[in-house]
Amino acid sequence: MKVGKISEVALSRAVLKQLNNKRDEVLFGGAIGEDCAAMKLAAGEVCVLSSNPVTGTGKVFGALAIYSAVNNLAASSAEAVGVMITALLPEDFKESRLKELAEMIEEVCKTHHIQVMGGHTEVTTAVNEPIFSVTAVGKVKEKELLRAKCAKADQDIVMSKWIGMEGSVAIVAAKEKELLQRFPKAMIDKIKAMLPNCCVLTEAALAVKSGVSAMHDVSSGGIYGALYELSEAAGVGLEIDLRAIPIRQETVEICEYLGLNPYYLKSGGSMLMVCDHGQELVRLLEKEGIYAAVIGRTTSDNAKAVINEGEVSYLERPKADELLKV
């Protein structure tokens, strides 16, 4: 495609025709000639926003871009209403690929009743891979708004699903041919099937109903980064049982092959939930088919301890995500 803002014809043909899911709260948006989007709120509701960038060439990155933004809203107990997407594309990007991405984005949004409210699509010489910046727009009753800083000392820390899922999906999307020379196709297919699990909206809604005090989604920087951020936001310490942190064998194997540390690998699809009765929340989630585990507790001091069969280490400040090495 030509450098610059893509043409109205291409925008309509490749993007807008694929975006059909609508919500009553959205007054307007996602149309040629409209530079803004608008949504209405009920009395007592507040608007919650979150932005996240994702870089990648495969169409799965369209889904991951949406998940990364709406998962942040879910951690605040907000309901995602819509997304605004800015796509910066390289010159060799084909319109057919843009259409595939728009279809993937619409599929994800339709599944979770989210409307694509608008955005901007541009071809630029400044990038050599597509960059998607997604701003998620949500709503929540003001009295129900959660923040990570609301975690208290002496509470259980529950984690949903498995660490490294988002990173595993992204690695397979980028290096599938290489990985198939090393691993059986059945294993690679299992990793691909993790994609829908990279969304935390279901467990977040259940956790809010159960009365959690705080949540924090596990994304860039992995589980170690998320735990450190939670501790700093709430001003509490941590005691984490390393062996209790759930991880899929498929993630372990590709991380070993590529020399990556899975505890610093992007983990969209995992949610940290802080509550008084962790095992009750685990049972509630598992009744709905969502795997979860109590991985530790908050403490009244500032130490961020990770315990591995009696040996104690301490979390460092978040590092660059391991996915960047790939």
What pLDDT, in 10s, does the model give residues 95-110? Answer: 999 999 899 999 999 9
Dihedral (CA of 106, 206, 288, 51) sign? positive
- Which strand (E) or helix (H) includes residue 263? none
CATH of the domain at 30: 3.30.1330.10
Looking at the fold, whether 152 and 8 belong to one and the same domain comes out as: no
Residue 202: how many other CB atoms lie within 10 Å: 17
Domain stops at, among 90, 112, 144: 144
Looking at the fold, whether 140 and 205 belong to one and the same domain comes out as: no
Number of structural domains in the chain: 2
Dist CA 23 CA 115 (whole Å): 6
For residues 143-153, one letter each, b for 16 or more C-beta atoms within 10 angstroms of the residue's C-beta and e for the rest, the string is eeebebeebee
Q: Report, in angstroms and rounded to the nearest whole number, the Rg of the chain calculated over CA atoms.
A: 20
Looking at the fold, whether 171 and 55 belong to one and the same domain comes out as: no
Looking at the fold, whether 128 and 186 belong to one and the same domain comes out as: no
Distance, CA of 260 to chain centre: 20
Write down the pLDDT at residue 35.
60
Looking at the fold, whether 266 and 171 belong to one and the same domain comes out as: yes
Looking at the fold, whether 176 and 103 belong to one and the same domain comes out as: no
Write down the pLDDT at residue 96.
92
265-280: pLDDT as tens digits: 999 999 999 999 999 9
DSSP 163: B
Looking at the fold, whether 166 and 191 belong to one and the same domain comes out as: yes
Dihedral (CA of 171, 63, 148, 278) sign? negative
Domain stops at, among 144, 161, 182: 144
Please give the residue range of the domain that contains residue 194. 148-325
Looking at the fold, whether 87 and 231 belong to one and the same domain comes out as: no
DSSP for 91-123 reads TT--HHHHHHHHHHHHHHHHHTT-EEEEEEEEE
Looking at the fold, whether 165 and 291 belong to one and the same domain comes out as: yes
Write down the pLDDT at residue 32.
61
At 137, give phi and psi (nearest 5°): -120, 125
Identify the residue whose tokens are 């690998």: 265
Give the three-class secondary structure for 130.
coil
Dist CA 258 CA 265 (whole Å): 12
Question: Contact 69/83 with Cβ under 8 angstroms?
Answer: yes
Looking at the fold, whether 199 and 295 belong to one and the same domain comes out as: yes
- Which strand (E) or helix (H) includes residue 136? strand 131-141
Looking at the fold, whether 152 and 36 belong to one and the same domain comes out as: no
| Closest of 51, 34, 196, 38 to residue 115, by C-alpha | 38
Looking at the fold, whether 119 and 92 belong to one and the same domain comes out as: yes
Helices (H) and strands (E) counted in the chain, each on its own, are 9, 14
| Closest of 259, 222, 205 to residue 75, by C-alpha | 205
Question: Contact 30/37 with Cβ under 8 angstroms?
Answer: yes
Q: Which residues 6+ apart lie within 8 Å of 87 measured at CB?
A: 98, 101, 119, 120, 121, 122, 130, 131, 132, 133
Tokens of 155: 């509470």
Distance, CA of 24 to chain centre: 25
Domain stops at, among 144, 168, 191: 144
- Residue-level pLDDT, tens digit, the chain, 326 residues: 778 667 778 878 888 888 878 888 888 776 766 567 778 888 999 999 998 888 877 788 889 999 999 999 999 999 999 999 999 999 999 999 999 989 999 999 999 999 999 999 999 999 998 999 999 999 999 999 999 999 999 999 999 999 999 999 999 999 999 999 999 999 999 999 999 999 999 999 999 999 999 999 999 999 999 999 999 999 999 999 999 999 999 999 999 999 999 999 999 999 999 999 999 999 999 999 999 999 999 999 989 999 999 999 999 988 889 998 98
CATH of the domain at 169: 3.90.650.10
Dist CA 133 CA 66 (whole Å): 9
Write down the pLDDT at residue 252.
98
Residue 119 pairs in a beta bridge with 85
Question: Contact 82/23 with Cβ under 8 angstroms?
Answer: yes
At 210, give phi and psi (nearest 5°): -80, -10
